[in-house]
Amino acid sequence: MADTNSDDALRTEIREWLAANWSPNADRASFAQAVLDAGWTVPSWEPDYYGRGLSDRQSRLVTAEFTAAGAPGSGHDRADLFACTIHDCGTEEQKRRLLPPALRGESKWCLLYSEPGAGSDLAGLRTRAERDGDDWVVNGQKVWTSFAATADYGLLIARTDPDVPKHSGITFFMLPMRQPGVEVRPIHQITGESEFNEVFFTDARVPDGNRIGDPGTGWAVLQVALGYERRLMGDIARTARGREKSGGLVELARDAGRLGDGHIRQEIARAQALATVNRWNNQRAKTSADRAEAATLLALGKIAMSRILHETARVQTEIVGAESMLSGPENPVGDAVTFRALNAYFTSIGGGTDQIQRNIIGERVLGLPKEPDPYRDAPFRDLPH
């Protein structure tokens, strides 16, 4: 094995490995197993858990080389919330049983967190799970769930004890989605898509072996899973999937004949400055040896990306003017700008709303006092609702 302390040596090793093992015609299942066996699937994890013990920065280098070669299979140590949560919080048995198929890309997952009455106050959830022998029986409802129709597992938080304070009576499960007690209904969005769903549980069952953490400790497990989700959303801003005009704000202004407008140039500069500072903060977080500093910077990254998307959409709308009111394939520029403006709200809500992110930053980063909660120590069943 090459000396992986050297980035150049690591790049050489990856390229040689890909040259020997990857081709566009390769059998995907066999290649996925080879990637897993070689430790490239989750390079930053320990060798005992399918990784190579690389730094987060080097793990990204591995993924970049796979992407450049057009090869799938790397980067699960950042992008696979299911696998990352099990790796950090699961039992030895769960890691050996659930991780390999997830890392090979054989199992799909969705997030079963938010409820109609428990969004920003997620600890107020009312979906319940009751023990029945070796299983738990789940009843309730979740909302805003992506990929629910195709998922094999749902990362579920459910109330298992209503007689303790709301944060203490929650348990975390990996719930099998393909069963009669799970009903998925798509939600029609303002963008014309239906990426999100409502999910209803009627005596759905989840084995106790798929419980992550002890009963009642689900809130702590959730914080781990949310941390990975926010890092992912801060890393990769969701785009219009090819519908958005390529080239960025400068090219859009040039095409619209407005690049000479001093006001437009200033607006473009402001949006690009936000993106640049956020990129610097992300780079600093990736290279920092101080875990507290890295966590702080990553907490800022998610809300920064939300602002960047909104600002970019606003400037795009100002550049194209009235054309932004047009939609459909016959108006590609206006359609893309409108989509960007509407879709920016996804990042303001998904992974924790902007308002919740500001609370987190205020309390955990700046050290401000927590908001008063007169019911903090009250049993959940006694809370007003």
Q: No. of H helices and E strands in the chain? A: 12, 8
Q: Output the pLDDT for position 360.
A: 80
Task: Give the residue numbers marked as catalytic.
Answer: 229
CB atoms near residue 218 (< 10 Å): 29
Q: Output the pLDDT for position 2.
A: 43
Q: Output the pLDDT for position 344.
A: 84
Q: What's the one-letter identity of residue 5?
A: N
Q: Output the pLDDT for position 108.
A: 95
CB burial of 10-37 (b: ≥16 within 10 Å; e: otherwise) equals bbebbeebbeeebeeeeeeeebbbbbbe
Rounded CA separation 185/199 (Å): 6
Q: Tell me the β-bridge partners of 173.
A: 156, 211
Q: What burial class does residue 106 get, using C-beta atoms within 10 Å of its C-beta: 0-12 exposed, 13-18 middle, 19+ buried? A: exposed
DSSP string, 307-328: HHHHHHHHHHHHHHGGGGG--S
Q: What burial class does residue 115 get, using C-beta atoms within 10 Å of its C-beta: 0-12 exposed, 13-18 middle, 19+ buried? A: buried
Q: Output the pLDDT for position 236.
A: 55
Q: Output the pLDDT for position 292.
A: 67
SS3 291: helix
Asked if residue 118 lies in contact with residue 126, where contact means CB atoms within 8 angstroms, the answer is: yes
Q: What is the pLDDT of residues 168-191, one digit of tens each?
A: 999 999 999 999 999 999 998 777
Tell me which residue of 164, 159, 176 sits closest to 117, measured CA to CA: 159
Asked if residue 181 lies in contact with residue 220, where contact means CB atoms within 8 angstroms, the answer is: no
Asked if residue 213 lies in contact with residue 174, where contact means CB atoms within 8 angstroms, the answer is: no
Asked if residue 233 lies in contact with residue 344, where contact means CB atoms within 8 angstroms, the answer is: no
SS3 273: helix
Question: pTM, whole model, 2 decimals?
Answer: 0.79
Q: What's the one-letter identity of residue 270?
A: R
Rounded CA separation 53/32 (Å): 19
Q: What burial class does residue 324 get, using C-beta atoms within 10 Å of its C-beta: 0-12 exposed, 13-18 middle, 19+ buried? A: buried
Q: Output the pLDDT for position 237.
A: 46
Q: Pull the structure tokens for residue 311.
A: 């600002």
- Non-local (6+) Cβ contacts of 99 within 8 A are 49, 50, 83, 86, 87, 90
Tell me which residue of 179, 156, 158 sits closest to 170, measured CA to CA: 158
Asked if residue 303 lies in contact with residue 354, where contact means CB atoms within 8 angstroms, the answer is: yes
Q: Pull the structure tokens for residue 40.
A: 């490239």
- pLDDT lower than 70: segments of the chain: 1-5, 233-247, 286, 291-296, 298-299, 351
